[in-house]
C-alpha cells in the first residue's frame, strides 16, 4: 500500500499517554524539531507506578516547550472518559493522533484485568470514535510485541498469525489492531499500529526489569532472573522507538477504493525492534557494568550474591525477536542503538535522578 506524505510542521498533534515514557520522549522530539503548530499531551497521571516520575517527565516537556516555537497543551484526564476525548477533539481538531495511552504490563494484567479493559479497549474505542467524527489525517497507535504470544517462529513478522495471546494485555493490544482495521474499513480512517519490542532508556517505566533491578540492587536486595536466565529480548532504546514513530506519523496509509467501490482499509502494522535479541544474562551483566561505571553502585558490589535464577512467570514468553524489514522498506529506518549505549544512558540518567 502506498503512503500519503504528511508534513508535521504547523499541524495540531495529539499524543495520548504523554507524559508516559514513550509519549514524553515523542513530545519533546516534536517540540525540539518542529517550527510551529500545537502538540497536545493527554494523560491521567495514574499511580500504576510512582507518579513523581510522570511529574518529572512533564517538567522536562515544559522546559522543552518554553524553548520551542510549538505550542504545548497538557490535558489531565483518561481516554476512557468519552466526554473528555470528544471535548479535546472538538476544541483542538487534531490532524494527527498518536495513541500511546494504555495500561501496560503483562504480569499486572493477571490480577488487575479491569483497568486493561477500561483503558486499552474502552479508551481506544473512544479515540477511534473521535477520529471517526473529527476527520484526522493519520492515527498512529501503540500495539506490542506481546501479540506474538508463544510463537515459535522467529523473527516475528507482521505476516505471522497472532491469534493466541498468552496474557490479557496481549489480547487487548491485538484487539486494538482489529478495532483499528474495522474503523479503517468502515470510515476510511488512515491508521498505523506499531508493535513495540521491550522499550528501555532514561526515565523509563520502573516496572520494567532493567529499572526495577537497578532499584533493588541499590537497596541491597536480590533480583530474580526469570526462566533461569534462558530468555532473549529484543530490547529497543527509546530514541529508536521515537525515530520510528515520527517517521511513521509522516506516512499515512493511502486511501483507495476497491473493485466494489468501497474503501480498501488504509491500514498498516509494523514492528519496531532492534532485530538483535539479547540473552537476559548478557543484558544484566552489561547493566551491572554500566551502573558501576556511572557510580550508581560501587566497583566491589557482590552481584552474584544479589541475584537468583527462577522459573518463567505467567504471561511471559521466552523470546521476542522483531523482523523490522517492512519498517525499513517503507520508511528507511531500522533501530540501531545497542544495549551498551542504551544502558549507559540509563545508568547516567539514574545517577542524576536519584539525587533529586
> Do the domain assignments include residue 296?
no
Task: Give the per-residue pLDDT at 6.
Answer: 98
Residues of the chain with pLDDT under 50: none
Whether 152 is in a domain gets the answer yes
How confident is the model over 7-64, as pLDDT tens digits? Answer: 999 999 999 999 999 999 999 999 999 999 999 999 999 888 888 999 999 999 999 9
Q: Is residue 30 part of a domain?
A: yes
pTM for this structure?
A: 0.95
In whole angstroms, what is the distance from residue 318 CA to residue 151 CA?
10
Per-residue pLDDT tens for 301-340? 999 999 988 877 776 677 788 999 999 999 999 999 999 9
* Number of domains making up the chain: 1
Among candidate residues 49, 169, 211, 267, the one labeled active-site is 169
Which CATH number is 168's domain given?
3.40.50.720
Q: Which domain holds residue 10?
A: 3-199+235-274+321-336
Element (H, E) at 27: helix 21-33
DSSP of 340-352:
HHHHHHHHHHHHH
Active site (annotated) includes residue 169: yes
In a domain, 31, yes or no: yes
Residue 318 has a pLDDT of 74
pLDDT at 315: 61
Give domain status of residue 151, yes or no.
Answer: yes
**343 CB contacts (<8 Å, ≥6 apart)?**
200, 210, 283, 286, 287, 290
Q: For residue 110, what pLDDT is reported?
A: 82
Domain for residue 191, yes or no? yes
Would 239 be classed as within a structural domain?
A: yes
Tell whether 293 is covered by a domain: no
DSSP 204-242: --TTSHHHHHHHHHHTTPPEEEGGGG--EE--EEHHHHH
Distance of CA 16 to the CA centre of its chain: 11
Amino acid at each position: 500500500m502506498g503512503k500519503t506524505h504528511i508534513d508535521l510542521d504547523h499541524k495540531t498533534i495529539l499524543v495520548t499517554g504523554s507524559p508516559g515514557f514513550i509519549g514524553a520522549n515523542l513530545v519533546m522530539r516534536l517540540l525540539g524539531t518542529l517550527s510551529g503548530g500545537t502538540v497536545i499531551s493527554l494523560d491521567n497521571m495514574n499511580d500504576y507506578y510512582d507518579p513523581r516520575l510522570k511529574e518529572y517527565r512533564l517538567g522536562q516537556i515544559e522546559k522543552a516547550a518554553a524553548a520551542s516555537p510549538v505550542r504545548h497543551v497538557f490535558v489531565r484526564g483518561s481516554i476512557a472518559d468519552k466526554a473528555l476525548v470528544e471535548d479535546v477533539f472538538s476544541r483542538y481538531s487534531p490532524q494527527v493522533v498518536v495513541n500511546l495511552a494504555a495500561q501496560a504490563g503483562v504480569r499486572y494484567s493477571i490480577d488487575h484485568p479491569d483497568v486493561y479493559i477500561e483503558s486499552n479497549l474502552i479508551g481506544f474505542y473512544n479515540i477511534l470514535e473521535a477520529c471517526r467524527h473529527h476527520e484526522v489525517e493519520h492515527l498512529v497507535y501503540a500495539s506490542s510485541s506481546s501479540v506474538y504470544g508463544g510463537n515459535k517462529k522467529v523473527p516475528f513478522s507482521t505476516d505471522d498469525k497472532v491469534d493466541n495471546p498468552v496474557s490479557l494485555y496481549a489480547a487487548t493490544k491485538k484487539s486494538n489492531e482489529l478495532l483499528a482495521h474495522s474503523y479503517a474499513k468502515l470510515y476510511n480512517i488512515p491508521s498505523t499500529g506499531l508493535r513495540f519490542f521491550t522499550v528501555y532508556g532514561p526515565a523509563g517505566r520502573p516496572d520494567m526489569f532493567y529499572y526495577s533491578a537497578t532499584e533493588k540492587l541499590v537497596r541491597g536486595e536480590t533480583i530474580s532472573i526469570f526462566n533461569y536466565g534462558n530468555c532473549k529480548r529484543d530490547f529497543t532504546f527509546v530514541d529508536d522507538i521515537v525515530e520510528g514513530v515520527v517517521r511513521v506519523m509522516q506516512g499515512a496509509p493511502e486511501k483507495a477504493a476497491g473493485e466494489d467501490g468501497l474503501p480498501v482499509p488504509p491500514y498498516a502494522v509494523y514492528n519496531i525492534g532492534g532485530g538483535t535479541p539479547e540473552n537476559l544474562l548478557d543484558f544484566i551483566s552489561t547493566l551491572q557494568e554500566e551502573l558501576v561505571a556511572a557510580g550508581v553502585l560501587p566497583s566491589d558490589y557482590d552481584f552474584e550474591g544479589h541475584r537468583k535464577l527462577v522459573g518463567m512467570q505467567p504471561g511471559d514468553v521466552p523470546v521476542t525477536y522483531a523482523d523490522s524489514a517492512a519498517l525499513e522498506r517503507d520508511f528507511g529506518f531500522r533501530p540501531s542503538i545497542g544495549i551498551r549505549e542504551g544502558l549507559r544512558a540509563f545508568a547516567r540518567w539514574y545517577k542524576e535522578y536519584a539525587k533529586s
